[in-house]
Structure formats: structure tokens, C-alpha cells
Amino acid sequence: MYTKHQWDSDVHYNFKYVKNLPADFDGNKKYPLVFFLHGAGERGDDLEVASRHGFMKQVREEGREFPFIYIAPQCPAGKYWGCFTESLLAFIDYICETLPIDRERIYLTGLSMGGTGTFMLAMADPDRFAAVAPICGSGICWYGEQFRDLPVMMYHGDCDDTVPVSESVTMLRAIHKRGGTAELRILNGVGHNAWEAAYAGDELIDWFMSHRRDIK
């Protein structure tokens, strides 16, 4: 079951957010965290809208259960995730302090504007995440060095006329050039809605769960 919340901070942007806990949630256990950044069409102050895509769509429409804690903040209207990098990192700290999060298994993903936000947030602090999955986002390829040691899985439709697939291809090449091992799933015949295939099934979940960050 998912619930709606608002973060109260004196120094950072106070995100509204959706939280979904595993069905067998036990406060004495540690769980992976999947942190989701929505697209431009879900901005505003309606958390129902912010939850209409990604893994939450399966929770809401199919009653599906997941083995991780899921957190999805909402970006205000007219803004972009890149405006809130410091606040998002502080918000993740808050989530880790108030929920039983396994800090070795923090995963970041997002679609469209959120795919770009995933690249930007991961670049700001790549050591924080065990793996990241930007969906049909645009990367900043000259910062490919930041992803050298961070597992990256991208999804992009080859018929995307909103964010061209070349954005992901260029990012993939930049990461590989710097010694990283990023992967890209190019979806044939798919437009901008690559998220429908990316978040369906178990491939991305299994890929996330196969990665763990060593905390020294």
C-alpha cells in the first residue's frame, strides 16, 4: 500500500512524496531503496499524477508487491529536477535516517525529465548509489567520468521524437570511453514512452537487486 507525505525541512525544498513499503515490511529489517524521479508531465502538487508511471503504476493498477522501499518525490510546476540537486540528496539522507534502508542498496531511476534528473543526481554524488537506470533521458556526456564505477542501465525508444535516442547512445559511448560498463536497451519501434517497457516485468528489478555498493 502506498501513502502520501510531505517532507518538512528548514533549509531544503519540502517535497511532497509517495512512499510504498513491502507487504512484509518489518521495521527491524533493512530494505533496498528505489528512488524514482517522474517526468515533466507529472509536475505540480497532485501526488496521484506523480504516481501514474513507473513501478507505482503496477502497485496502483495491479496490486503488485515489490521487495524494496519505493520513494517518489514530486517536482513543482515549472521547475526541473536539476533545480533541486542539493535538496534531493538531503531528502535521500532523511529517508535513510527515518526508514530501515540498506545503504548498500540505494537505486535511482527516472523517466524523461526524470531520466535527465537521474543522470544529474548521480553525477552529483555517484558514490551514494548502487546502480542507476535513466529512462529516455538526456545525459551530460562530458561528465561520463562520474559513471566509470557506477552501474548504469539505460532504456530508450528508437522512434523517440521528444528526447532522441542519440542522447542515450552518446552517453553510453562517453561512459565506455572512460572505462565504465553502462548498458543501453534500445527499444525498436518505441517512441518517447520507453518507460512502459522499462518498468514492466522483472528485468530492471532483477538488475537493480543484483548490484550492491561496498561502503568502506
Is residue 75 packed enough to be buried (19+ CB in 10 Å), middle (13-18) or exposed (0-12)?
A: buried
DSSP-based three-state secondary structure for 193:
coil
Between 57 and 41, name the one with better pLDDT. 41
Distance CA 44, CA 42 (A): 7
65-81 confidence digits (pLDDT tens): 889 999 999 999 999 99
Distance CA 81, CA 112 (A): 11
SS (H, E, C) 68-91: CEEEEECCCCCCCHHHHHHHHHHH
176-216 confidence digits (pLDDT tens): 999 999 999 999 999 999 999 999 989 999 999 999 998 76
77-108 confidence digits (pLDDT tens): 999 999 999 999 999 999 999 999 999 999 99
132-160 confidence digits (pLDDT tens): 999 999 988 888 888 999 999 999 999 99
CA dist 22 → 59, 95, 152 (Å): 11, 15, 25
**Nearest CA-CA partner of 98 in 78, 76, 71:** 71
C-alpha cell at 180: 565504465
Q: Is 54 left (phi over 0), alpha (psi -120 to 50) or beta?
A: left
User: Are 31 and 22 within 8 A, CB to CB?
Assistant: yes
Is residue 134 packed enough to be buried (19+ CB in 10 Å), middle (13-18) or exposed (0-12)?
A: buried
Distance CA 155, CA 133 (A): 8
- The CATH label, of 3.40.50.12780, 3.40.50.1820, 1.10.3720.10, 3.30.428.10, for the domain at 2-209 is 3.40.50.1820
Strands 131-135 and 101-111: parallel
Between 187 and 58, name the one with better pLDDT. 187
How high is the pLDDT of residue 216? Answer: 64
Domain coordinates in residue numbering, the chain? 2-209
